[in-house]
Amino acid sequence: MGFADIKTFENLQDDVITVNRCCACGACIAYCENQAFNVIEMDEYTPRFKTNKSVENCKECGYCYYICPQTEPLVDRLKEEHLIKDELGNIIDIFAARTTNAKIQEVGQDGGIVSTILTYLFETNNIDAAVVSEYDENFKPIPKIIYSKDDLAKSAGTRYSISSNILPLKDLTHIAEEIISHKKRIYDPDQLRIAFVGTPCQCRAIGKMKLLHIKPAHVISVVIGLFCFENFDYNKLIEILKSKTQINPSDIKKTNIKKNFFVTSKEETVKEVNIKDLDEAVRNHCHECDEFVGRYSDLSIGASGAPNGYSMILTRTEKGHSLIDSLLATGYIERYIIPADQISEWQPKKINWLKKMTSLKVKK
Ligand SMILES: Cc1cc2nc3c(=O)[nH]c(=O)nc-3n(C[C@H](O)[C@H](O)[C@H](O)COP(=O)(O)OP(=O)(O)OC[C@H]3O[C@@H](n4cnc5c(N)ncnc54)[C@H](O)[C@@H]3O)c2cc1C
Ligand code: SF4
Ligand code: SF4
Ligand code: SF4
């Protein structure tokens, strides 16, 4: 590749952002800010030059283009690296499990597995921080770095709109300072150990960054991918939910999808919205997305295929697999016991189901 071929942020604008293919993951900005280039920022859900003058600050390094999960470069190398041969990616083991922690059972979306993994990692001092998602007062998802298991209750549960989870990694020095204030020890920002939770597209961006060994992905010690069928534009979603349920965003406690979309208010009223009514709120980039199960991760987790109250777990790397083994061995989570007469067909059936879901998503 000669210099003339290097694509820059202007190409990213043309090929991804202005044509509505951006999934607002924040990777481009997180990288650029880590280099202190002072060029781009997130305007709501749209990356853009900070000012007209900052166009001149762009070093035309091209990294933002290459690490973007919505561009072609590096995808083949990434597939090789992650041993991906089909739509589900590399699977070491697939099974259903749920948390044994009563508090997480209350707040977790499905089996509470993600929050329990993070609890374990904090309690065993295997991470200094985790990237998760919380809500603001208007039920808008906000990406968040948390530093203790005590902050996990607020982040549990699924937000069905974008949470730009890579974005807060743009300031590693600030993160290191926060960790110092929590643990009262000096930390080198480059030695941090951060767990990352995100949608498949976000995990793909982290994978591309790791492939290039660039900041800030060097501090991500474990990648937890969520299953993801689609994601909604926050403003459109709230408008439709308001008109169909008469519940104000500030009064929503939880949402979940079980065939249809369910809204639970803070007063525990549950309203059902036909999932088809939300079609117009689906973000554009999700229409062409072919990832359902988060292939570029250490382990991926979702509800699809799991019995009620459990999550499906796909372990993908030795790291992800041994992490889950430790949670099982120490009783943090418990495995779903497959009825004796279903043992031989259970796993193949689940794999077929997840393949079917992926192809449904691609055809949509
Ligand atoms: C947009 C979206 C669509 C999904 N669609 C499906 C689907 O079609 N089928 C399916 O089986 N599963 C889907 N999932 C995954 C599922 O909803 C649960 O997240 C998963 O089963 C884990 O549940 P849990 O009880 O283990 O997690 P919990 O212990 O409740 O933890 C959930 C974790 O996910 C993080 N999180 C929540 N929302 C977001 C977000 N928008 N972006 C990044 N991180 C987030 C939270 O911060 C938390 O750390 C979807 C998830 C998302 C975010
Ligand atoms: S300096 Fe590099 S990473 Fe930053 S906007 Fe320009 S090309 Fe992208
Ligand atoms: S890296 Fe992420 S935020 Fe940046 S243009 Fe690509 S999809 Fe959008
Ligand atoms: S459907 Fe695909 S593009 Fe949309 S949020 Fe989920 S993983 Fe990202």
Report the candidate in 78, 327, 111 with the shortest Cα–Cα distance to residue 200. Answer: 78
Specify the amino acid at residue 242.
Answer: K
What is the pTM (predicted TM-score) of this model? 0.97
Q: How far is the CA of 29 from the centre of ligand 2 (A)?
A: 8
What pLDDT does 362 receive? 79
What pLDDT does 306 receive? 97
**Could you tell me how far CA 171 lies from the centroid of its own chain?**
19
Look at the domain 234-281 and name its fold: Nuclear Transport Factor 2; Chain: A, (3.10.450)
What pLDDT does 33 receive? 96
What pLDDT does 285 receive? 93
**Cα dihedral sign for 263, 271, 279, 301?**
positive
Ligand closest to the CA atom of residue 201: 4
Distance CA(101)–CA(148), nearest Å, equals 16
CB atoms within 10 A of CB 59: 12
Distance CA(212)–CA(74), nearest Å, equals 9
Helix axes 27-34, 200-211, angle to 10 degrees: 30
Residue 135 near residue 182 (C-beta atoms within 8 A): no
The residue contributing the CA closest to ligand 3 atom 6 is 68
Distance CA(255)–CA(257), nearest Å, equals 7
Q: How far is the CA of 69 from the centre of ligand 3 (A)?
A: 7
- The continuous run of DSSP H or E covering 360 comes out as helix 343-363
Structure tokens at 208: 């591309």
What pLDDT does 187 receive? 73
What tens-digit pLDDT sequence spans the chain (364 residues)? 445 589 999 999 999 999 999 999 999 999 999 999 989 999 999 999 999 999 999 999 999 999 999 999 999 999 999 999 999 999 999 999 999 999 999 999 999 999 999 999 999 999 999 999 999 999 999 999 999 999 999 999 999 999 999 999 999 989 988 888 877 676 788 889 999 999 999 999 999 999 999 999 999 999 999 999 999 999 999 999 999 999 999 999 999 998 899 999 999 999 999 999 999 999 999 999 999 999 999 999 999 999 999 999 999 999 999 999 999 999 999 999 999 999 999 999 999 999 999 999 877 6
Residues with CB under 6 A from ligand 4: 23, 199-201, 228, 230-231, 285-286, 289, 291
Domain boundaries, the chain: 3-73, 76-231+282-363, 234-281
The answer to whether 3-73 and 234-281 have equal CATH topology is no
- The continuous run of DSSP H or E covering 98 comes out as strand 93-99
Is CATH 3.30.70.60 the classification given to domain 3-73?
no
- Mutation test residue for ligand 1: of 158, 160, 194, the one with most atoms within 8 Å of CB: 158
What pLDDT does 2 receive? 47
